[in-house]
Amino acid sequence: MSSPAAAPVREDAPRGLGRAFNLLWLGQSVSNVGDRINVFVVPTVMILLLHASAFQVGLVGMAQYLAIPVLSLAAGVLVDRWDLRRTLIWCDLVRVLAIATIPVAYWLDVLSVPLIFVVVALANAASVFFNIGYTATISAIVPIGGRVRAYSHLEGSRSAAEVVGPAVAGVLYRLLGVASLLVDAATFLFSAATVRAMRPYGARSPQREPMWTRLVAGVRLNWNDPVLRGTVLGTTLLNMGGPIFVTVLPILAYRGLHLSVPTLGTVMSVAAVAAVAGALLAQRVSGLVGADRLMPWSVFLHCLAGLGILAAPALPPALVLGVTLSCYCPESLIRVQYLAIESRIWSA
């Protein structure tokens, strides 16, 4: 017998998206800033404190992406069997403990590149489960007519975090050093508290189908839908180049261009203003262009932007990096529509 869940949300719900969504949105808005602190501070610690090589930074960069192809399908099946609210809380707590390990290990003089690799891989594995869970959560707590608006709110918060996050991370690192990661861990603790404050929802009964059957069904669903199929193939290729960019940018900035930590953080924040503009235009552009046309252009422009780094040695480096990173704004246009498609799958 399945556990009792919260009362279903009516399709004619009022304009507001409800208390449950507001709590989820608040927690995500704060933890998104923590994500940006993590992405900025971890390679900074490796380069400036551990004097890691480019290869070592690249390995840790790979750990940020490794969980996506390895765990996504299995995570989708497992999250479908678990209580959504508890899943989100536990994922946040795992990330709290994982991230807090880095400063503690540094103070104990046992911090190493292999340890950071394990920590980053564990935190991102939890993020895979969390992201799938909160996508399903939107389907559980927001009526169909409000989901695009809900995803737009979440995307706006994510983009805003990309604006303020790197600058905040640069200042925090200047003031606190490796202890700035404790601030990152605290943001995930806050996220867990907001989810805990939500009314129970998303309790699921055990699935009768074997896990392998569900996995095969998930693969077929992604492959048979032309939009999802193209998105999966495109993002797979895109993520193959992601660790390269993650590796090159901080090493080039610190060792090649001799930028300070606050300067790099400020450059990244200024450039991310374009991402906010992309999020604000997401619904209109998706409606006018269509997801099938918007997705490939977003991926193409996202990849093309990285070539701008080649001009850094010849021109003012801060300006070159700012313009290059600004060209990542089309990615925001794709995320809202893709999340809406995922919501449709969960509702099926």
Residue 13 · residue 143 · CB < 8 Å:
yes
Secondary structure (H, E, C), 190-257: HHHHHHHCCCCCCCCCCCCCCHHHHHHHHHHHHHHCHHHHHHHHHHHHHHHHHHHHHHHHHHHHHHHC
pLDDT digits (tens, 9 = 90+) for 157-189: 777 777 777 888 888 898 998 999 999 999 999
Q: What is the pTM of this model?
A: 0.72
**HSE-up (13 A, CA, CB side) for residue 239:** 15
Burial 59-86 (b: 16+ CB within 10 A, else e): bbbbbbbbbbeebbeebbbbbbebbbbe
Q: What is the pLDDT of residue 325?
A: 73
What is the rounded distance in angstroms from the CA atom of residue 257 to the CA atom of residue 317? 7
- In 9-162, DSSP assigns E strands to none
Residue 124 · residue 67 · CB < 8 Å:
yes
Q: Can you list the domains of the chain with their CATH numbers?
A: 19-202+210-347 (1.20.1250.20)
Amino acid letter at 241? G
Residue 171, SS3 per DSSP: helix
Residue 134 · residue 88 · CB < 8 Å:
yes
pLDDT digits (tens, 9 = 90+) for 20-49: 888 888 888 888 888 888 888 999 999 999
Rg of the chain, C-alpha, whole Å: 20
Amino acid letter at 305? A
| Mean pLDDT across 6-16 | 44
Distance of CA 211 to the CA centre of its chain: 26
pLDDT digits (tens, 9 = 90+) for 181-196: 999 999 999 999 998 8
